[in-house]
């Protein structure tokens, strides 16, 4: 049976001990978030996640959303849970106080997001999309738009969406056809169809505000001709209350592999009234404010599913009796030993633990950088932290979701045949996790973003924001006898990463296909090294505290770090070999030969 309790001890470790989250209280606007307040927030979030959201996860999956006569209804219990969620102020946790929010650090909000995703990922899509819309409007909306919409997003009475994809275009948004016709009153009439719109229609909020990519009549072709518009389901009245129905409606909902309690909609805009956000033809800049936030959020979805899958698998491995230990009977009073005595099961559990806790630390590093990129005292500090965010966003999104899916699969494997059966709850995590590798830019797109943009931006400045601290850590700790074993393996992985970057930079200049062919392997090497760097830092901290460790928490960190370095970091060696082999074998096969065996 699936279980979930928030991993508060580990969350507080990465927030407080590893990255000095308590020091965030010294930044402007964060003074109220003392250690006691942060603890209270995390404990309350853990409570609502476990007691309110998690019990709806399986029933929501089995019931799904329903669509009838243009109306979408969420599963039984979701409306009541959402009302309890907004009553607790959770939709406004990370929102600014000027709009009625609590102004929490992004790093605190990220830990809460992880709990929600572990407990009920489908439920989390509704406030998650609203958070993205909030960020876009806060950055690029007019003062009037901010005053109208942001308080409603903050208190949860209105929700938001991202309307990008159309039937003929997904990643290539330059193919968008939705039209925006200017009106005498300064508004625009939007006409077109958007697909795969998460939380596009539902019964949780009194209004749904769509942020829509569309083209003006004078728009240049391609992506440079895209503008961003607000188009709410119901037009707001002058006093901010809900007015008449707009021309935005749901045409259907998708029947999906997973996250069935999240409504994924076709939204039709039929002369729907909208208003420009930001500058004309600059919509992608505004939309990327949502997408970058969403990509980090999707990585946290993967992390959340990793955690809940691990907890279920660990409990089952301890309780399920199966066979005897290879070294001799461990529990002679029982008819068999528990699964956890078997090396292969232990390897699977340790892989899940090492990736989950390592990625949690990586997410915390990036989210702390978000806090400091916004609040640091000097422009140079803010720029340094933003560079790290830019460089590691593809890692958090891609590796977080790959690990989420892989760990959910390992959870099913540990359960054996029972994992394949719905009543145990593990197979749902696999289905839910699969979409995270696809939406908000497939993980292959994240790899191309890394190679095509992040590595080359500002003459490698983003890359240096990561490379320099890793190199410095290796140099500072290589001579420490307690750290030697761990630092040596980190150094090997880091050396492979540097070699891979050099290879791609050299070959990619003359043949872009070489860079494209190697991109996913490079992203994986960077990911393993990034998480390895987190484990090295955690091990150093744990070694310093291991003598006062009544619970064994720090001892577990040290041993898991050793497992990661010896069993997972070597994967970078095979990835480097693949990169060094070049892309010829990928590109040489003629298109017509892909189905030659069938044609013959």
| Local structure of residue 183 (DSSP, 8 states) | -
CA atoms of 440 and 435, how far apart (whole Å):
10
Residue 162: both structure tokens together: 């991202």
Return the H-helix or E-strand segment holding 221: none
Residue with tokens 């090997």: 492
Phi, psi of 507 (to 5 degrees): -75, -35
Judged against a pLDDT cut of 90, whether residue 154 lies above it is answered with yes
Q: Mean pLDDT score of the chain, rounded to an integer? A: 96
Residue 320: both structure tokens together: 């399920």
Using 50, 70 and 90 to split pLDDT, how confident is the model at 599?
low
CA atoms of 32 and 184, how far apart (whole Å):
47
- Give, in order, the Cα–Cα distances in Å from 229 to each of 157, 237, 450: 20, 18, 29
Q: Is 357 a catalytic residue?
A: no
Return the H-helix or E-strand segment holding 228: strand 227-232
Is 73 strand, coil or helix? Answer: strand
At what angle are helices 143-155 and 106-140 packed, to 10 degrees?
Answer: 150
What pLDDT score was predicted for residue 509? 80
Cβ-based neighbour number of residue 446 at 10 Å: 29
Point out the catalytic residue in the list 113, 201, 307, 440: 440
Nearest to residue 159, comparing CAs of 102, 196, 211? 211
Per-residue pLDDT reduced to its tens digit, 461-489: 999 999 999 999 999 999 999 999 999 99
Helices (H), 376-483: 379-415, 426-436, 443-449, 461-477
Cβ-based neighbour number of residue 334 at 10 Å: 10
Report pTM.
Answer: 0.97
Domain-wise residue ranges, the chain: 21-65+72-140, 158-284, 442-587
Nearest to residue 108, comparing CAs of 55, 32, 220? 32
Beta strand spans in 38-121 (E): 66-68, 71-73
Mean pLDDT is lowest, of 9-13, 47-51, 444-448, 545-549, for: 545-549
What pLDDT score was predicted for residue 293? 83
What pLDDT score was predicted for residue 600? 58
The answer to whether the Cα torsion of 56, 57, 63, 69 is positive or negative is: positive
- Give, in order, the Cα–Cα distances in Å from 41 to each of 88, 290, 313: 10, 25, 28
Return the exposure string of 369-398: e unless at least 16 CB atoms fall within 10 Å of the residue's CB, then b: bbbbbebbeeeeebebbbbbbbbbbbbbbb
List the Cα angle 374/378/379 in 5-degree steps: 70
* Contact call for residues 309 and 408 (beta carbons, < 8 A): yes
* Contact call for residues 555 and 546 (beta carbons, < 8 A): yes
The pLDDT > 90 percentage for the chain reads: 94
Judged against a pLDDT cut of 80, whether residue 1 lies above it is answered with no
Cβ-based neighbour number of residue 236 at 10 Å: 18
Is 6 strand, coil or helix? Answer: coil
What pLDDT score was predicted for residue 255? 97
| Local structure of residue 324 (DSSP, 8 states) | -
Using 50, 70 and 90 to split pLDDT, how confident is the model at 53?
very high
* Contact call for residues 137 and 147 (beta carbons, < 8 A): no
Please give the average per-residue pLDDT across 517-523, as a whole number: 97
Judged against a pLDDT cut of 90, whether residue 171 lies above it is answered with no
DSSP result, 9-30: HHHHIIIIIIT-GGGGGGSTT-
Is 232 strand, coil or helix? Answer: strand
Judged against a pLDDT cut of 90, whether residue 552 lies above it is answered with yes
Nearest to residue 442, comparing CAs of 165, 147, 193, 89? 165
Per-residue pLDDT reduced to its tens digit, 202-258: 999 999 999 999 999 999 999 899 999 999 999 999 899 999 999 999 999 999 999
Strands 207-214 and 158-163: parallel
The CATH architecture of the domain made up of 21-65+72-140 is Orthogonal Bundle (1.10)
Is 77 strand, coil or helix? Answer: coil
Nearest to residue 156, comparing CAs of 129, 136, 137, 138? 129
CA atoms of 291 and 11, how far apart (whole Å):
25
Cβ-based neighbour number of residue 332 at 10 Å: 9
Mean pLDDT is lowest, of 18-22, 103-107, 184-188, 546-550, for: 546-550
Judged against a pLDDT cut of 70, whether residue 453 lies above it is answered with yes
Written out in words, the top-level CATH class of the domain with range 158-284 is mainly beta
Per-residue pLDDT reduced to its tens digit, 258-309: 999 999 999 999 999 999 999 999 998 887 777 788 899 999 999 999 999 9
Judged against a pLDDT cut of 90, whether residue 534 lies above it is answered with yes
At what angle are helices 343-375 and 512-545 packed, to 10 degrees?
Answer: 100
How much helix, strand and coil, in percent to the nearest 5, is found in the chain?
A: 65, 10, 25
| Local structure of residue 452 (DSSP, 8 states) | I
Is 479 strand, coil or helix? Answer: coil
Per-residue pLDDT reduced to its tens digit, 345-356: 999 999 999 999
Phi, psi of 49 (to 5 degrees): -65, -45
* Cα distance between the two ends of the chain: 49
Judged against a pLDDT cut of 80, whether residue 374 lies above it is answered with yes
Judged against a pLDDT cut of 90, whether residue 597 lies above it is answered with no
At what angle are helices 379-415 and 426-436 packed, to 10 degrees?
Answer: 140
Residue 401: both structure tokens together: 């979701």
Phi, psi of 190 (to 5 degrees): -100, 135
What pLDDT score was predicted for residue 291? 79
């Amino acid at each position: 049976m699936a279980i979930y309790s928030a991993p508060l001890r580990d969350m507080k470790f990465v927030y407080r001990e590893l990255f000095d989250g308590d020091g965030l209280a010294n930044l402007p606007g964060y003074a109220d978030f003392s250690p006691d307040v942060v603890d209270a927030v995390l404990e309350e979030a853990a409570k609502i996640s476990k007691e309110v959201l998690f019990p709806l996860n399986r029933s929501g999956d089995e019931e799904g959303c329903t669509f009838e006569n243009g109306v979408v209804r969420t599963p039984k219990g979701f409306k009541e849970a959402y009302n309890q969620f907004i009553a607790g102020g959770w939709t406004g946790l990370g929102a600014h106080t000027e709009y009625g929010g609590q102004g929490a650090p992004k790093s605190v909000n990220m830990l809460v997001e992880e709990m929600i995703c572990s407990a009920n990922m489908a439920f989390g899509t509704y406030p998650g999309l609203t958070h993205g819309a909030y960020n876009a409007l806060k950055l690029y909306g007019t003062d009037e738009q901010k005053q109208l919409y942001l308080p409603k997003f903050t208190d949860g009475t209105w929700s938001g969406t991202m309307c990008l994809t159309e039937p003929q275009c997904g990643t290539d948004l330059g193919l968008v056809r939705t039209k925006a016709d200017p009106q005498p009153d300064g508004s625009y009439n939007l006409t077109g169809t958007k697909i795969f719109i998460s939380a596009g229609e539902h019964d949780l909020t009194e209004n749904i505000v769509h942020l829509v990519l569309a083209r003006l009549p004078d728009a240049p072709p391609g992506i440079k001709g895209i503008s961003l518009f607000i188009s709410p389901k119901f037009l707001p009245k002058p006093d901010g209350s809900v007015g008449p129905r707009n021309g935005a409606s749901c045409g259907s909902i998708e029947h999906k592999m997973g996250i069935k309690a999240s409504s994924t909609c076709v939204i039709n805009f039929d002369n729907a009234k909208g208003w420009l956000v930001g500058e004309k033809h600059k919509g992608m800049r505004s939309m990327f404010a949502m997408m970058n936030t969403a990509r980090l959020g999707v990585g946290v979805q993967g992390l959340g599913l990793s955690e809940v899958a691990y907890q279920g698998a660990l409990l089952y491995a301890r309780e399920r009796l199966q066979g005897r230990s290879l070294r001799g009977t461990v529990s002679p009073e029982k008819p068999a030993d528990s699964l956890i005595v078997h090396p292969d099961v232990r390897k699977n559990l340790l892989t899940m633990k090492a990736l989950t806790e390592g990625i949690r630390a990586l997410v915390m590093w990036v989210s702390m950088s978000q806090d400091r990129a916004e609040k640091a005292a000097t422009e140079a500090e803010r720029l340094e932290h933003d560079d790290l965010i830019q460089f590691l966003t593809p890692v958090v999104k891609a590796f977080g979701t790959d690990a989420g899916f892989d760990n959910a699969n390992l959870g099913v494997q540990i359960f054996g045949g029972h994992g394949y059966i719905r009543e145990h709850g593990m197979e749902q995590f696999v289905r839910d996790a699969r979409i995270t590798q696809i939406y908000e830019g497939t993980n292959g797109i994240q790899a191309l973003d890394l190679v095509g943009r992040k590595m080359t931006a500002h003459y490698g400045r983003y890359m240096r924001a990561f490379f320099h601290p890793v190199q410095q850590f290796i140099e500072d700790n290589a001579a420490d006898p307690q750290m030697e074993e761990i630092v040596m393996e980190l150094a090997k992985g880091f050396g492979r990463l540097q070699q891979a970057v050099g290879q791609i930079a050299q070959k990619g200049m003359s043949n872009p296909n070489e860079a494209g062919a190697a991109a996913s392997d490079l992203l994986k090497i960077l990911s393993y090294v990034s998480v390895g760097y987190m484990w090295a830092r955690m091990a150093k901290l744990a070694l310093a505290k291991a003598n006062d460790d009544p619970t064994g928490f720090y001892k577990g960190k040290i041993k898991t770090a050793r497992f990661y370095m010896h069993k997972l970091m070597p994967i970078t060696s095979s990835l480097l070999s693949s990169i060094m082999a070049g892309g010829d074998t990928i590109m040489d096969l003629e298109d017509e030969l892909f189905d030659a065996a069938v044609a013959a």
